[in-house]
């Protein structure tokens, strides 16, 4: 709401980006929860719905398609945000757009350190975690991970080549 208010009240000024950045920091490190908060995905997309709703929808869809085609739940989850960087670089002449999205994505990745460390530890064990396991472990919902494990391009290619099913593929 502050991003929307600043966009409507001061459309020529970059205040909306300051409000978006402040909302992102406040969401991730709220004072009233001893600086322990979320990771910021919602605050980024909430600001994007105001700052560039067309770009938000297009890049979210593009990131989802790329993640599904790559057969990777993390690419699906983070692809839309990452694609906003080149989107703003190519479509906006105001450098405030690019500065804000670089800050937002960078701060998001900084806030994701525990999950990224956890993912690296999962990979280091030698066990190749399925997308279902990763999605369940990261609180994204096992169903989406299971769908990628079953219908993503790597799974379909594997089935065509006669490769054994990944964990979770044969489950009902």
pLDDT in tens, 114-150: 888 887 887 788 777 888 888 887 777 788 888 888 8
Average pLDDT over residues 108-113: 87
pLDDT tops 60 at residue 72: yes
SS3 14: coil
* Better-scored residue on pLDDT, 33 or 96: 96
Residues with Cβ within 8 Å of 159's Cβ and at least 6 positions away in sequence, in order, are 165
Contact 77, 44 (CB under 8 A): no
- Token readout for 20 is 């978006």
Helices 53-70 and 73-91 sit at what angle, rounded to 10 degrees? 140
Please, what is the average pLDDT of the chain?
Answer: 86
Query: What's the rounded Cα separation, in Å, for the pair 28 and 51?
Result: 20
pLDDT tops 60 at residue 167: no
- Which one, of 74, 85, 86, lies nearest residue 44 by Cα? 85
Question: Percent helix, strand and coil across the chain, each rounded to 5?
Answer: 75, 0, 25
Question: What pLDDT is stored for residue 163 in this prediction?
Answer: 64
Question: What pLDDT is stored for residue 7 in this prediction?
Answer: 92
């Amino acid at each position: 709401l502050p991003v929307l208010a600043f966009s409507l009240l001061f459309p020529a000024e970059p205040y909306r980006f300051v409000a978006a950045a402040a909302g992102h920091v406040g969401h991730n490190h709220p004072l009233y929860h001893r600086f322990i908060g979320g990771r910021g995905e919602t605050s980024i997309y909430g600001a994007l719905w105001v700052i560039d709703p067309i770009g938000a929808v297009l890049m979210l869809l593009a990131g989802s398609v790329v993640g599904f085609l790559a057969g990777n739940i993390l690419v699906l989850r983070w692809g839309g945000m990452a694609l906003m960087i080149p989107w703003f670089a190519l479509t906006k002449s105001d450098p405030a757009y690019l500065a804000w999205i670089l800050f937002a994505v960078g701060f998001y990745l900084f806030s994701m350190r525990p999950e990224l460390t956890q993912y690296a530890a999962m990979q280091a064990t030698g066990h190749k975690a399925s997308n279902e396991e990763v999605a369940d472990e990261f609180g994204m919902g096992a169903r989406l991970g299971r769908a990628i494990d079953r219908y993503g391009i790597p799974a379909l290619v594997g089935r065509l080549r006669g490769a054994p099913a990944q964990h979770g593929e044969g489950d009902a």
